Amino acid sequence: MFTPGGLRPAPTVAAVGGARTGIRLSPGGTFWGVEETEVPELYGALLTELARLDLAYVHLEATTGEEVLVGLRRAWPGTLIMNPVLPMGPKQTGRTEADHWLALGADLISFGRGFLANPDLVERLRTGLPIAPVDEATYYQGGDAGYLTYPAYQYTA
């Protein structure tokens, strides 16, 4: 998709339009043995090309340093969704991380583990209730545990 001579219209954008298309990027991410160098330059160039497609959003994972991510925020003129913590890292995204990134210029914040563990996450965020941590032992296990078993706050006391 990313070619030095410029981005060709992506098939998804050609099919449904940029307003219905978003992309999630993991700048500098190292999952599955990926090794990237010159991350600010690489992703800055990619975002410049992606801007021509008028996408609905770019969604960034915090897979590189904050100063690089802030630079990418500046390089992307459209809607930026930020996922503020290291994927699968020790800390799940909560209110503090969300507020931090809203102050740094994110338009929207995404929550992964918070939504798994809190069926009422939006209500908890809205009212300042504590956000429950996810139980990693339930990942990929099948069955109800970890999918249908987390209680809403009013039932936890």
Ligand X SMILES: Cc1cc2nc3c(=O)[nH]c(=O)nc-3n(C[C@H](O)[C@H](O)[C@H](O)COP(=O)(O)O)c2cc1C
Q: Yes or no: say if 43 and 23 are a contact pair by the CB < 8 Å rule.
A: no
**Contact set for ligand X, span 55-74 (CB under 6 A):** 61
Q: How far apart are the first and last CA of the chain?
A: 51
Q: Is 150 in the site for ligand X (CB under 6 A)?
A: no
By CB under 6 A, name the one of 43, 101, 111, 150 that touches ligand X: 111
Neighbour tally for 55: CB within 10 Å: 22
Q: Is 11 in the site for ligand X (CB under 6 A)?
A: no
**Identity of the residue, 23 or 53, whose beta carbon is nearer to ligand X in the bound complex:** 23
β-bridge mates for residue 60, sequence order: 25, 82
Residue 41 CA to residue 18 CA, distance in Å, equals 24
**Identity of the residue, 23 or 85, whose beta carbon is nearer to ligand X in the bound complex:** 85
- For residue 26, the minimal CB distance to ligand X (Å) is 7
Residue 108 CA to residue 39 CA, distance in Å, equals 23
Using CB under 6 A as the criterion, which residues of the chain lie in contact with ligand X when the complex forms?
24, 61, 83, 85, 87, 92-93, 111-114, 139
